[in-house]
Amino acid sequence: MKHSVYARIAAATVRANMRLYVPRVLAEAGLLGCFYILYTLSRDRRLAEALGGSYLPTMMGLGTVVMGLLSGILILYVSRFLMKQRTGAYGLYNVLGMEKRHIIRVLFAESLYTSALSLLLGLGFGVLFYKLSSLLICRLLRAGAVAGFYYLSAPTLLFPAALFLALDLLAFLAGSLTIARMKPVELLAGQHKGEAEPKVKWPLLALGLLSLGAGYAIALSDQSPLQAIFLFFAAVLLVILGTYCLFVSGSTFVLKRLKQNRNYYYQKRHMPAVAGLLFRMRRNAVGLASIAILATGVVVMISTTLSLYSGVQDTVAENYPRQLYLSAYQSQDGEIRHVPFADLEAAVRLTAEAYGLTIEDVEETNLLSVSYLLRDGALLTRSEVTGGWKPEELTGAMFITEETYTHLKGQIYYTTDARRLDLAEDEIAFCRIYSTVRSLSDVPETLRIGGRDFRVKETITYFPVSPNMGAMVDVIGIVVADQTVLDGIYQAQKAGYGAYASEYANRIGVRFADEEAVSAVGEAFSQSLVDNLRAAYPGELSYTLDTKWESLHNTLDMYGTFLFLGLLLGFVCLFSTVLVIYYKQIAEGYEDRERFQIMEKVGMEPREVRETIGTQLRLQFFLPLLTAAVHTAVAFPILLKLLQILMLSNTGLFVACTLATFAVFSLVYVAVYALTARTYYQIVH
C-alpha cells in the first residue's frame, strides 16, 4: 500500500473522531505552551537581571522539571485512552486485509497529524503568552517591565518541541506494541471489553489504610518546622500511595457493602449505578484517585503561594521592627575594633539629613560573634583542640541575650511549641543560619561552650541578626538567658584566643519617622551611608547593613516567584483534572450506551435513566472532591510549619486563602461535572 493511502485513512479517522482528537490536541498544546513559558523564564537573563531575580532561574528550572513529568504522564494517559477507543477500528482493518505493520503505519500517520498540530498550537500559545507571563511576574515583584521580545531563540523553541516529540514518539511506540501483541479478535473486542467483578484485595486495603494513616500521622505530629521540611515529602508519598490503594480496593469494599444493602441496592436509580461501578471499578479507581491527588495539588499549591505573597508586608514588618540595622568593625594589628555606637549613629544621621529624612529613635544592641571548632557536641576554641583539625569543623557562632532577641524579633517566636523562650541559665535556643550539614534539623541535645554544658531548649528557625562571616563556613545563632551568661562566654573565649579574641559588636537599629520616604530612596541611601562610614573610618572596614526595604525587595522576589509558579502549576493540575474527567466520561459513556438502551427497551423511562446516570456520576465525581478536602485539612498543620520557615506567621491569612482556593476550585469542579455529565448523557441516550 502506498504511504498516501495511510495518510488519507488517518486524516479521515481524525476528522470522524473530532470529539476524541480535538481535546487531545488542545491538551498537548496547553502543556507544551506552559512548559515553554517556564523553560524560557528559566533562561531569560534579561528578566532575571531586571528583577534582581536570584530566585527566578532556579524556581522556574524546578518548575520545568515538574511540568515535564506531568506532561509525560498526561500524554501517555490520553494516548492509552485513544488506543482503547480505536482498537475496534484497527481490528476491522485487520479483518479486511491490512497487516499489522500497515495498521501501525496508519497509527503513525494519525500520531504525526496530531503531534504536528499540537506543536504548532503549543509553541504559538507559549510565544503569545510568554510576554504576558513576564509582565505578570514584573507586576508581582513590583518591578519595571522588560521591553522587547528578545527571548525568542533557537534553544527555547527547539528543546520544548524536541521533548514533546519524544513523548509523542514514546506514546506511539506503546500503541504499536499493543497492536503487535493483540490478536484480530482482541482488537475487534478491545473497545467493548468489560471488567470482571473485582474482589476485595485485603492486603491492598490494609496497605492503603496503613499508608494513609502513616501519612496523616506525620502531618498531624508535633515536630519542629525544620523537621517538617524532611517529613513533608514522606507524608505526601504515603498519602498518594494510600489514596490509590484505598480507591482501588476500598471502593470495591464499599460498593459490595452497598450491593448487600437490599433497601438501597434494589432501586431503579441505584442498582444500575452500583452494578456498573462495581464491574468497572478496577479501572475507574485509578482515574478517581488521580483526580483526588490533582485536586489536592491545586488547592495546596495555590493557597500556600497566595498566602505567602498576600502576607509579605506583615512578614517583613514582624521581622524588622526598625527600618535599618548597622554594625561595623576594623581589624588593626590582629585586633578587632568595633565602631562605637555614637559614630554609627552619626553616620546614619548625616545621611538622613542629606536626604531630608527624620530619625524617630535609635536602639543600641550588643552581640558577640566568635569562631569555634564544632566537635562532638562542643564549641571549642583553637587552644582547646589538640592535634589537627578539619576546615569543615570551623563554625561561626553568634550570641545574643533573650532580651535582645525579644526586642529584635518583635515578640514573634518560631519555636517547636510556639511558646516564649523563658531560658534558664543553663539553657539556650539554637538556630542554624548557614549550614552544610545534611539535615538542618540535626541539632544536639546539649552543647558545650567555654567549658560549660548548655541544654538546647528550643530550635528556632529565624535569627534576627544578620551574620557578617559569609556563607563559606557554618554559622549558628545562639540565644542565652541574660547578659551574665553572655559575659561568661565572652570571658571564656577571651581566655582561649587572647589577643585574637572577639569583642562585643555594637549594632544600632534605626526607626525613621517616614518609612515610605526612606524606602523610596533606599538603595541610594544605603550607598551614601556606607560612603559616609568609610569616610569616617578610612582603610579596611567590615560592616553589616540590614535594611527593611532590601528585605522587602528580596522577599517579594522569592514570594512573587513562588506565587507565579504555584498559579501556573495549579492551572496545569486543574487542566489535567478536567482532561481526566472528560475522557473518563466519554469512555464510560460509550461503554454504558448499549446497557442503558437495553434498559429503556425493557421499560425504564428516560427520566429514570437520567436519574440513574446522575446517581452514578455523583458517586464517582464528588468522592475525589471530598477526598481532596480531607487531605488538605489534614495537611494544614504541617503546611503551617513549612510556611513558618518562610516567615509567615499569619495563620488566619493561610486559612482564608485555603478556604477561598477550595471554594473556587469546587465551583470549577462542579461546572466541569455538569458539562461532562451532559456529554455523557448525550452519548448514552
Helices (H) and strands (E) in the chain, counts: 21, 11
What confidence category does residue 637 fall into, taking pLDDT thresholds of 50, 70 and 90? Answer: confident
> CA nearest 295: which of 233, 232, 243?
243
Average of per-residue pLDDT across 451-467: 82
Max mean pLDDT range (297-311, 380-394, 490-504, 607-621): 297-311
- Predicted local confidence at residue 663, as pLDDT: 92
Least confident of 113-127, 179-193, 562-576: 179-193
Q: Could you tell me the three cell numbers for 6?
A: 495511510
What confidence category does residue 66 fall into, taking pLDDT thresholds of 50, 70 and 90? Answer: confident
Integer CA distances (angstroms), 10 to 5, 181, 338, in order: 9, 21, 80
Residues 642-658 pLDDT 10s: 777 676 767 888 889 99
Give this prediction's pTM: 0.69
Max mean pLDDT range (21-30, 100-109, 111-120, 377-386): 111-120
538: helix, strand or coil: coil
Which amino acid belongs to residue 386?
T
Average of per-residue pLDDT across 494-517: 83
Q: Give the Cα-Cα-Cα angle 198, 199, 200 (nearest 5 degrees).
A: 125
Average of per-residue pLDDT across 632-651: 79
Which amino acid belongs to residue 347?
A
Residue that has been written with the C-alpha cell 567590615 in this structure = 542
- Predicted local confidence at residue 528, as pLDDT: 92
pLDDT for 683 beyond 60: yes
Residues 528-541 pLDDT 10s: 999 999 888 887 88
- Predicted local confidence at residue 62, as pLDDT: 75
What confidence category does residue 349 fall into, taking pLDDT thresholds of 50, 70 and 90? Answer: very high
Integer CA distances (angstroms), 183 to 9, 99, 191, in order: 21, 11, 14
pLDDT for 481 beyond 60: yes
pLDDT for 369 beyond 80: yes
Average of per-residue pLDDT across 185-213: 69
- Predicted local confidence at residue 284, as pLDDT: 67
Q: Which residues contact 533 (CB under 8 A, 6 or more apart)?
A: 326, 328, 339, 344, 347, 541, 543
Percent of the chain with pLDDT strictly greater than 70: 74
Least confident of 211-220, 303-312, 593-602, 671-680: 593-602
pLDDT for 209 beyond 80: yes
**14-23 contacts, C-beta under 8 A, 24 or more apart:** 14/110, 14/113, 14/114, 17/85, 17/86, 19/586, 20/82, 20/85, 20/586, 21/82, 21/114, 23/78, 23/579, 23/582, 23/583
pLDDT for 31 beyond 70: yes
What confidence category does residue 632 fall into, taking pLDDT thresholds of 50, 70 and 90? Answer: very high
- Predicted local confidence at residue 428, as pLDDT: 92
> CA nearest 360: which of 515, 152, 505, 191?
515
Q: Which residues contact 395 (CB under 8 A, 6 or more apart)?
A: 371, 372, 373, 374, 379, 473, 474, 475, 476
- Predicted local confidence at residue 591, as pLDDT: 65
Residue 377 is given by DSSP the state T
Contact predicate 411/419, CB 8 Å: no
pLDDT for 635 beyond 80: yes
> How many whole angstroms separate alpha carbon 391 and alpha carbon 472?
10
> How many whole angstroms separate alpha carbon 200 and alpha carbon 87?
30
> CA nearest 90: which of 110, 78, 107, 75?
107
Instruction: Give the residue, 4 or 204, on which the prediction is more confident.
Output: 204
> How many whole angstroms separate alpha carbon 328 and alpha carbon 369?
12
Average of per-residue pLDDT across 601-613: 63
pLDDT for 479 beyond 90: yes
Alpha-carbon dihedral 31, 37, 40, 45, rounded to 10 degrees: -160
Q: What is the 3-state secondary structure (H, E, C) of 560-589?
A: HHHHHHHHHHHHHHHHHHHHHHHHHHHHHH
Q: 650-660 burial string, b = 16+ CB within 10 Å, else e?
A: beebbeebbee
Max mean pLDDT range (276-280, 353-357, 375-379): 353-357
Which amino acid belongs to residue 76?
L
Contact predicate 30/38, CB 8 Å: no
Instruction: Give the residue, 428 or 420, on which the prediction is more confident.
Output: 428
Residues 71-82 pLDDT 10s: 887 788 778 777
Residues 397-427 pLDDT 10s: 889 988 888 777 654 444 444 446 889 999 9
Q: Which helix (H) or strand (E) is 210 found in, with range?
A: helix 202-220
pLDDT for 121 beyond 80: yes
> How many whole angstroms separate alpha carbon 505 and alpha carbon 293?
52
Least confident of 47-56, 104-113, 340-349, 582-591: 47-56
Q: Could you tell me the three cell numbers for 105?
A: 503505519
> How many whole angstroms separate alpha carbon 252 and alpha carbon 119?
41
pLDDT for 513 beyond 80: yes
